[in-house]
């Protein structure tokens, strides 16, 4: 079965890793949010792309989920000594990625091309595509500071400001990166990973043509990033609450209304089964928390089973 996975950062990367352990590079393409990308210290930083690639390459920091394992912080310490900005922590190993990416982009290479070459260098075999090669910026409207670029909200202010809304600057002119529409067009199923619906998945749907292409795919399945009213990681639940929506798996299913054929949520939230089914989508409860590599593979295996079930109505053997 050919799968396109839509992913943001850490939560998405874990499921992508599970899928990649089960599917060949021909069977899995990952489309990654680039709304979090920004310029910092003169460098182009693409956090979600790097998180997905480092995870697939086995290079990711297991504690934070972002950045590199075995990281050292000499450059950051020297930057602090010089009075430079250290609120966004760039490790020594990670810096090489940003330096070379920035050099390549300045020389005129597209982000998708640079990502493809980096993946080859890191031994990542599955295609990882940025959603777009154009600049696309997620901004967060906050009560305390007005509009903030995403990383200012997320890292500098530690997701503390109260959220009032989002804006996706550049969305009108952004076009899908090469290969994105082709992969979706050839997919048997699109899997929406357990990433933040507001700021990781919605941006992907905002790129011209991607939403329509996904609607043309017969099977569209999402995994809830909210378990027991809380986000496994990050501010998704806090965002729902601040926008006047009770955070829950049901809220996530409603968020994606009209976009899905199937929805996977945690066993802990079984009480929402009838309300979610009433949205006209096929739903299933599973153990969705991914603490270990084995959990990633187990969930990915069940996601694939559920996709097959959505496709044919008959469970895969």
- Residue 308 CA to residue 141 CA, distance in Å, equals 40
Per CB under 6 A, 90 contacts ligand FO1:
yes
The secondary element (H helix, E strand) that includes residue 219 is: strand 219-223
DSSP state of 152: I
3-state secondary structure of 144: coil
How many Cβ atoms are within 10 Å of 100's Cβ, its own excluded?
A: 15
Q: Is there binding between residue 36 and ligand FO1 (CB under 6 A)?
A: yes
Q: Cα angle vertex 205, ends 29, 228, to 5°? A: 85
Q: Is 47 in the site for ligand FO1 (CB under 6 A)?
A: yes
Distance CA 131, CA 35 (A): 9
Q: At how many degrees (to 10) do helices 10-22 and 293-312 cross?
A: 70
Figure out which of the listed residues 94, 202, 266, 269 binds ligand FO1, where binding follows CB under 6 A: 94
Using CB under 6 A as the binding rule, whether residue 151 contacts ligand FO1 is answered as: yes
Q: Which stretch binds ligand FO1 (CB under 6 A): 110-118, 150-158, 219-227, 247-255?
A: 150-158
Among 5, 9, 251, 299, which residue sits at the site for ligand FO1 (rule: CB under 6 A)? 9
Q: Which is nearer to ligand FO1, 44 or 308 (CB)?
A: 44
Q: Cβ closer to ligand FO1: 89 or 106?
A: 89
User: How is residue 52 written in tokens?
Assistant: 């997905």
Shortest Cβ distance from residue 12 to ligand FO1 (Å)? 8
Q: Which of 73, 88, 122, 147 binds ligand FO1 (CB under 6 A)?
A: 88
CB nearer to ligand FO1: pick between 8 and 194:
8
The end-to-end CA distance of the chain, in Å, is 14
The one among 93, 110, 155, 297 contacting ligand FO1 by CB under 6 A: 155
31 backbone φψ class: left, alpha, beta (φ>0; ψ -120 to 50): beta
Options 3, 18, 67, 124; binder of ligand FO1; rule CB under 6 A: 67
Binding site for ligand FO1 (CB under 6 A): 8-9, 36, 45, 47-48, 50-51, 66-67, 88-90, 94, 151, 154-155
């Amino acid at each position: 079965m050919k799968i396109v996975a839509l992913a943001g950062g850490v939560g998405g990367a874990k499921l992508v890793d599970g899928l990649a352990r089960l599917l060949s590079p021909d069977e899995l393409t990952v489309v990654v949010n680039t709304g979090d990308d920004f310029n910092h210290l003169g460098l182009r930083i693409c956090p979600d792309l790097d998180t997905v690639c480092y995870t697939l390459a086995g290079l990711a920091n297991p504690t934070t989920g972002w950045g590199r394992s075995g990281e050292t912080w000499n450059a950051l310490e020297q930057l602090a000594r010089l009075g430079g900005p250290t609120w966004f922590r760039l490790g020594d190993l990670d810096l090489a990625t940003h330096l070379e990416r920035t050099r390549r982009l300045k020389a005129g290479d597209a982000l998708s091309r640079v990502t493809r070459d980096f993946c080859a260098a890191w031994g990542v075999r599955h295609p990882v595509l940025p959603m777009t090669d154009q600049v696309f910026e997620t901004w967060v409207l906050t009560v305390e500071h007005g509009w903030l670029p995403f990383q200012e909200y997320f890292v500098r202010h530690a997701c503390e400001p109260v959220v009032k809304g989002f804006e996706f600057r550049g969305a009108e002119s952004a076009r899908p990166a090469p290969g994105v529409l082709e992969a979706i067009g050839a997919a048997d199923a699109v899997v929406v990973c357990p990433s933040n619906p507001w700021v990781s998945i919605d941006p992907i749907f905002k790129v011209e043509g991607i939403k329509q292409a996904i609607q043309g795919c017969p099977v569209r399945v999402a995994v809830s990033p909210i378990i027991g009213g809380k986000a496994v990681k990050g501010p998704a639940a806090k965002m729902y609450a601040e926008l006047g929506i009770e955070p829950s798996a049901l809220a996530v299913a409603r968020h994606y209304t009209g976009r899905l054929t199937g929805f996977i949520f945690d066993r802990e939230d079984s009480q929402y089964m009838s309300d979610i089914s009433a949205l006209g989508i096929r739903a299933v409860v599973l153990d969705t928390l991914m603490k270990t590599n084995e959990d990633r593979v187990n969930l990915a295996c069940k996601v694939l089973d559920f996709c097959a079930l959505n496709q044919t109505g008959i469970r895969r053997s």
